[in-house]
Amino acid sequence: MFRFFENLVDPYVTYTPTDRPPTKLLPFLMDYAKPFRKLFIWATLLSVAVASVEIGLIWAMGWVVDILSGDPAQVWEAHGTTLILIGLFILLLRPLIQALDVLVLNNAIMPSFGILIRWRAHAQVLRQSIGWFENDFAGRIANRIMQTPPAAGEAVFQVFDAITFSLAYVLGAAVLLADADPRLLLPLLLWFGGYVLLMRWTIRRVGPASKAASDARSLVNGRVVDAYTNIHSVKMFAQDRQELDYAKEAIDVARATFQKEMRLYTIMDLALVMLNGLLIVGVVGWGFLLWMQGVASVGIVAAATALTLRLNAMTGWIMWALTTLFRQLGVVAEGMETIAQPISLVDAADAKPLRLEKGEIRLDHLTHHYGRGSGGLEDISLTIKPGEKIGLVGRSGAGKSTLVKLLLRFYDAEKGAILIDGQNVSEVQQDSLRRAIGMVQQDSALLHRSVRDNLLYGRPDATEAQVIAAAKQAQAHDFILTLQDPQGRTGYDAHVGERGVKLSGGQRQRVALARVILKDAPILLLDEATSALDSEVEAAIQDTLYGMMEGKTVIAIAHRLSTIAHMDRILVLDGGRIVEEGSHDVLLQHQGLYAQFWARQSGGFLDPDTEAAE
């Protein structure tokens, strides 16, 4: 039974992602709720049915009180069948209606709705560009992805468990009182008017207060995660106290916003107690007065009393449900600031997969300054022939990394174009472009998964033999066999820690090299690929590196100039422009900037004195 209701909606149902999600709260939620529309209708109908049953039971209680004034034998003879039917309804049909209501809400909607939002929100955020992620805390992004789905689920729960039920209940109460004596409606209507005003006052303040509190919690989470992510720097510079103070600033803001939110609830509770007192005195008192005047029966007074006491008990719950609803909507609104941001770097509408035949790369008047007007690249034109090996040299900030990022289309060039085999990289599918390029970075962060999983990231369909062969080529196989994590997993099954922190820099670099060897992409980018390796290991894998380059178009960035001295061509970048170009020997004879770098090398690296600030 549970499985039937749990499987009514597949949270992973196929859908069409949008580059521009709705930015208004209701359209945003309705977009995610499309697979649940039929269930929402059923939840509404069942909630109304449950409320109607409750009102009907109160009416039945008043009727029973009225008939009890007669002779017991005559009462049973006249009403016995009706009493039995009421009993059977309470024992059989009422539980069935209630069961269907909670099964639809608790088992069909609640689990799947939150999962669907989290799944799609995560998918949406993953589509954002590298630049988008660089402008925010990873912790804050993750916090919003994690807190928005349960908040949306709680909002839906309150709509059907409390709001729909309570509206149906109040309407039914009005019908019941009007049927008994229309004058009993007056105190109920006055109370309802006051209740609506109180709700309006509360809701207008709870939403913004909740969003402010949610923003503050995300800020705390972002700062805390930032400290944990960079824990090596925190410990190395003995800055525990500074990190605590940095977090405390955000925690104090969160505390202040939460206090403001709680003040609203206290005011609401006190006002509600006064309103409910007026309701009880008004309805019950008036009913008692009508009974004294002989125009209302004891049953009517009993029903009116039960109804007002039930409303008294419900109003706090309803108000809390309403404030919870709008508090959770505030959390969703805060999450939308991340989830509903438009995707700025998208495939063209008619984008085709990259067709890589030769591996020629052409830069055509390429300019990119990250929107700042300076830095990056300035009017670069260059053709890299298929299979050609290019070395990139230059001071920090000269534009080397910018060129690589544009080639991978992590950013769209502000001017000019990059063409691979005549195809503009901005007009082909991003995934196909990046599948055709293998890259080893200076900072080779790994996923907090097994060594095997990290290696398979380069080629998910690789066999175990191919994985091991790639690791051996990168001089990584022997140390991998010695690994063991705290859970007892060893070798290729051992987990490497967040960003690969359980491995040394050289070990991480060799795993990254093995991953790219396994990928075997036709275009190869090397960004200080051997900088984390000691001289002995670097010498041992030099042949591997040259083997990796065989038959590929290669762009290698290096400060250790000896690693690119044998490239077909070396480009010297300065101020975002190509200022020198040629082989190692030609550039030395030219006696320009490259020759200065070579002369000033210390231990095989560019002398730090030649480095300019970013």
Please check the confidence at residue 384 and state whether its pLDDT lies above 90: yes
d(C-alpha 494, C-alpha 507), whole Å:
14
Instruction: Kindly report which listed range (87-96, 513-522, 561-570) carries the lowest average pLDDT score.
Output: 561-570
- Four-residue CA torsion sign, 598, 601, 603, 604: negative
- Overall average pLDDT of the 517-531 stretch: 83
Confidence class for position 529, pLDDT limits 50, 70, 90: low
Confidence class for position 579, pLDDT limits 50, 70, 90: very high
Tell which wins on pLDDT, 236 or 521: 521
Please check the confidence at residue 516 and state whether its pLDDT lies above 70: yes
Confidence class for position 614, pLDDT limits 50, 70, 90: very low
- Overall average pLDDT of the 530-548 stretch: 66
Tell if the pTM clears 0.85, that is, is over it.
no
Closest to 54 measured CA to CA, from 19, 88, 89? 89
Instruction: Kindly report which listed range (146-160, 185-199, 312-326, 443-457) carries the lowest average pLDDT score.
Output: 312-326
Instruction: Kindly report which listed range (171-180, 279-288, 481-490, 532-541) carries the lowest average pLDDT score.
Output: 532-541
- Overall average pLDDT of the 72-101 stretch: 86
pLDDT value at residue 370? 85
Instruction: Kindly report which listed range (300-304, 515-519, 597-601) carries the lowest average pLDDT score.
Output: 300-304
- Overall average pLDDT of the 167-179 stretch: 76
Tell which wins on pLDDT, 446 or 452: 452
* Region label for 363, one of left (φ > 0), alpha (ψ between -120 and 50) or beta (otherwise): beta
The counts of H helices and E strands in the chain are 22, 10
Q: Exposed/middle/buried for 330, CB within 10 Å: 0-12, 13-18, 19+?
A: buried
pLDDT value at residue 26? 86
Instruction: Kindly report which listed range (269-283, 411-425, 517-531, 559-573) carries the lowest average pLDDT score.
Output: 269-283
DSSP 71: -
pLDDT value at residue 532? 54
Provide the pairing of β-strand 415-420 with 361-368: antiparallel
DSSP 608: G
- Token pair, residue 305, equals 């009393």
- Overall average pLDDT of the 82-103 stretch: 89
43-44-50 Cα angle (round to 5): 85
Instruction: Kindly report which listed range (399-403, 533-537, 559-563) carries the lowest average pLDDT score.
Output: 533-537
Tell which wins on pLDDT, 123 or 72: 123
- Overall average pLDDT of the 497-515 stretch: 82
* Region label for 173, one of left (φ > 0), alpha (ψ between -120 and 50) or beta (otherwise): alpha
pLDDT value at residue 87? 87
Please check the confidence at residue 195 and state whether its pLDDT lies above 90: no
d(C-alpha 462, C-alpha 492), whole Å:
14
Tell which wins on pLDDT, 255 or 238: 255
Confidence class for position 360, pLDDT limits 50, 70, 90: very high
pLDDT value at residue 429? 92
Q: How many residues does the chain have?
A: 614
Confidence class for position 246, pLDDT limits 50, 70, 90: confident
The fraction of the chain above a pLDDT of 70, given in percent, is: 93
For the residues of 185-209, what is the DSSP string, one character each? HHHHHHHHHHHHHHHHHHHHHHHHH
> CA torsion angle for 237, 240, 243, 248 (degrees, to 10)?
-160
Please check the confidence at residue 543 and state whether its pLDDT lies above 80: no
- Overall average pLDDT of the 567-584 stretch: 91
Confidence class for position 306, pLDDT limits 50, 70, 90: confident
Instruction: Kindly report which listed range (243-247, 315-319, 416-420) carries the lowest average pLDDT score.
Output: 315-319
- Coil, helix or strand at residue 473: helix
Please check the confidence at residue 605 and state whether its pLDDT lies above 60: no
- Residues in Cβ contact with 209 at an 8 Å cutoff, skipping those fewer than 6 apart: 257, 260, 261, 264, 330
Mean pLDDT score across all residues of the chain:
83
Tell which wins on pLDDT, 256 or 312: 256
- Four-residue CA torsion sign, 530, 532, 538, 543: negative
Integer angstrom CA distances of residue 100 from 58, 66, 103: 22, 33, 5
- Token pair, residue 490, equals 């060893």
Confidence class for position 540, pLDDT limits 50, 70, 90: low
- Overall average pLDDT of the 515-535 stretch: 80
Domains along the chain with CATH numbers: 2-339 (1.20.1560.10), 350-436+566-607 (3.40.50.300)
Q: How many CB atoms lie within 10 A of CB 342?
A: 11
Tell which wins on pLDDT, 457 or 273: 457
Most confident of 54-58, 275-279, 470-474, 596-600: 470-474
pLDDT value at residue 206? 75
Contact 83, 66 (CB under 8 A): no
Please check the confidence at residue 319 and state whether its pLDDT lies above 60: yes
